[in-house]
């Protein structure tokens, strides 16, 4: 008998969830739908909706370095039986802007330093695709912005498609807005602000971009610098892409009940949960 799946509480690493035999609510059927959208997508949802885990699943699916692990990671999921031609095609840059903090005076330096570290990690992951001269030159370059331009030129020359994923795109900008006020926030997201400039550099460099956050506020202010983005947050096609539907919860409760780990009536449990969710979530389609 297979061991009962664990509950991945607080886990956002997709590979760990699969390899440690944790229960995963399959959202991979949305990948073909995403591929049919524009190439530069924005999707906002409140906190605790599973954004980070979804992005890490996305990263694992499209990552060139994980191409040979496809069956191991996705074999039991919907996409494992219905793979798309883009599986394992991209060199991936993954940025989590919740990791950027500090005083307002050092924010631009922290942003650039974090970008530099992640770009170095990208290069070492795909080291075999670049010659020694470029690798040495890239690693000796100090700033994240210069590394970004170098990668853009080299990947374009070698025709390597790049995919950018940004988690918590508005994390530190929301902190700035709440703690420093509109004037400071405006300075980094408008005109020659470093954050607006970053998105201007992303534009045209990456074959695909997918980013998430909790609010469209920063997105609206970045529009002039990132006017290629397509916001699918309100599209009904993606209502169930994050969070748990009622059927997701029912299936999970029944799984643990059948495994002997849960006692009681499943339908009573669902009815007891419903008052803890807002009116939208009372609908049959969604609990979260």
* pLDDT one digit per residue (tens) for the chain, 288 residues: 579 999 998 899 999 999 999 999 999 999 999 999 999 999 988 887 889 999 999 999 999 999 999 999 999 999 999 999 999 999 999 999 888 877 777 888 999 999 999 999 999 999 999 999 999 999 999 999 999 999 999 999 999 999 999 998 777 666 666 666 666 666 666 666 777 788 888 888 999 999 998 876 666 666 554 566 788 988 999 999 998 888 999 999 999 999 999 999 999 998 888 887 654 443 444 444
Task: State pTM to two decimals.
Answer: 0.87
What are the b/e assignments for 133-142, b being 16+ CB within 10 Å? ebeeebeebe
Helices marked H in the chain: 14-19, 31-35, 51-62, 70-74, 78-81, 107-125, 132-140, 144-158, 171-180, 182-189, 194-202, 217-222, 246-258, 266-273
For the chain, the structural domain boundaries read: 14-238, 246-282
User: Alpha-carbon distance 123 to 129, whole Å?
Assistant: 9
Is-contact 136 71, C-beta < 8 A? no
User: Alpha-carbon distance 286 to 193, whole Å?
Assistant: 39
The pLDDT assigned to 165 comes to: 97
CB neighbour list of residue 2: distance below 8 Å, 6 or more residues apart: 21
- CATH code: domain 14-238 is 3.40.50
User: Alpha-carbon distance 216 to 210, whole Å?
Assistant: 14
């Amino acid at each position: 008998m297979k061991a009962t799946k664990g509950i991945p509480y607080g886990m956002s690493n997709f590979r760990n969830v699969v390899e440690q035999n944790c229960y995963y609510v399959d959202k991979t059927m949305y990948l073909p739908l995403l591929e049919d959208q524009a190439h530069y997508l924005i999707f906002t949802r409140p906190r605790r909706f599973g954004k980070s885990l979804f992005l890490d699943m996305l990263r694992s699916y499209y990552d060139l370095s994980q191409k040979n692990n496809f069956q191991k990671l996705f074999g039991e999921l919907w996409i494992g039986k219905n793979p798309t031609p883009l599986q394992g095609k991209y060199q991936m840059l993954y940025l989590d802007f919740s990791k950027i903090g500090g005083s307002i005076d050092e924010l631009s330096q922290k942003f650039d330093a974090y970008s530099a570290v992640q770009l170095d990690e990208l290069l070492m992951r795909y080291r075999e695709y670049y010659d020694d001269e470029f690798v040495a030159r890239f690693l000796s370059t100090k700033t994240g912005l210069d590394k970004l331009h170098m990668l853009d030129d080299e990947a374009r020359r070698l025709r390597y498609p790049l995919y950018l994923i940004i988690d918590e795109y508005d994390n530190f900008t929301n902190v700035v807005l709440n703690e420093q006020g509109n004037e400071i926030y405006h300075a980094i997201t408008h005109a020659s602000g470093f954050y607006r400039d970053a998105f201007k550099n992303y534009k045209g460099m990456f074959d695909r971009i997918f980013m998430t956050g909790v609010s469209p506020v920063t997105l609206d202010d970045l529009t002039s610098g990132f006017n290629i983005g397509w916001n699918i947050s309100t599209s009904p096609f993606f209502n169930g892409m994050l969070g748990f539907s009622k059927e997701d919860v029912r299936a999970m409760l029944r799984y643990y009940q059948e495994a002997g780990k849960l006692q009681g009536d499943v339908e009573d449990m669902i009815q007891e949960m419903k008052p803890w969710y807002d009116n939208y979530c009372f609908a049959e389609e969604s609990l979260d």
